[in-house]
Amino acid sequence: MLIQYGQALGNYLYDVFVAKFDFWLAFGLVAQLFFTARFLVQWIASERAGNSVVPMAFWFCSMGGGLMTLVYGIVKREPVIIVGQALATVIYVRNIMLIWKNRGSGSKTLDR
């Protein structure tokens, strides 16, 4: 039984990542990697600062990866991706606008 599940999983992964591999799958994977890189950027910046920080690069990775994922969702006609990334991208752009607007005053955090 365990062998059958392993074979079924292997067949599934082959079908998803090899048999159906095309430009858009590669594009979507790169988009997801770019989007995920934001967590690495934030982690490294926080470790260097010795404090939890959200650097500007985090928002650019969010926006770039989000826009790429949105394009992927539109091409693949995936409504869940389209709705999620369209709304999230607006937030990323707005955060970048707020940071640029308040460039001289620095970031603020809530103390609780």
The tens digit of pLDDT for each residue in 88-109 reads 999 999 999 998 998 866 555 5
- Region 29-54 average pLDDT: 93
Residue 99 identity (one-letter amino acid)? I
What do you get for the CA distance between the two ends of the chain, in Å?
Answer: 52
Q: Which residue has the tokens 């999620």?
A: 84
Other CB atoms within 10 Å distance of the CB of residue 30: 14
d(CA 31, CA 106): 29
pLDDT given for residue 110 in this prediction: 44
Do residues 35 and 71 touch, judged by C-beta distance below 8 A? no
What is this structure's pTM?
A: 0.76
